[in-house]
């Protein structure tokens, strides 16, 4: 999860697409952009459309805001511990049933 030049939160697949577009236009990326693109290519497992649909479904859950939905979509947690780690520094900790709901939604879009 990162923000674009307008401050809008963007997902890892969106970052990957942005950097690929810049690479086509300029022929070469600066060092930081190359590193970011390599990271995005390695870890972005879903398409932009799948990621947007996943985020939309996650935001339907009662206690999941936009920032958490994007983080979950970027990380694609596969276990309860993964979900708990996402919320480790937050004041809100999802309940067991909320964690199961998150994993169920992620599972609809991503299977290892």
Range of the domain at 14: 2-43
Domain shared by 34 and 59, yes or no: no
Q: Token pair of 24, please?
A: 């086509």
- What DSSP string describes 13-54? HHHHHHHHHHHHHHSS--HHHHHHHHHHHHH--S-HHHHHHH
The C-alpha angle with vertex 70 and arms to 66 and 72, in degrees rounded to 5, equals 115
Query: Would you write out the chain's pLDDT as a tens digit for each of its 112 residues?
Result: 555 566 788 999 999 999 999 888 887 888 999 999 999 999 899 999 999 999 999 999 988 999 999 999 999 999 999 999 999 988 888 999 999 999 999 999 987 6
Same domain, 37 and 57: no
Asked if residue 53 and residue 95 are part of one domain, the reply reads: yes
The total number of structural domains that make up the chain: 2
Interior angle at CA 49, CA 48 and CA 51, nearest 5: 65
Residues 20 and 63 in one domain: no
Same domain, 29 and 58: no
């Amino acid at each position: 999860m990162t923000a674009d030049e307008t401050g809008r939160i963007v997902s890892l697949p969106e970052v990957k697409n942005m950097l690929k577009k810049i690479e086509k236009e300029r022929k070469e990326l600066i060092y930081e952009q190359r590193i970011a693109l390599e990271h995005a290519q390695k870890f972005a497992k879903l398409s932009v459309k799948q990621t947007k649909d996943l985020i939309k479904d996650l935001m339907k859950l009662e206690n999941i805001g936009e920032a958490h939905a994007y983080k979950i979509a970027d990380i694609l947690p596969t276990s309860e511990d993964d979900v708990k780690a996402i919320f480790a520094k937050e004041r809100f900790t999802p309940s067991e049933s909320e964690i199961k709901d998150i994993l169920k939604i992620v599972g609809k879009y991503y299977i290892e």
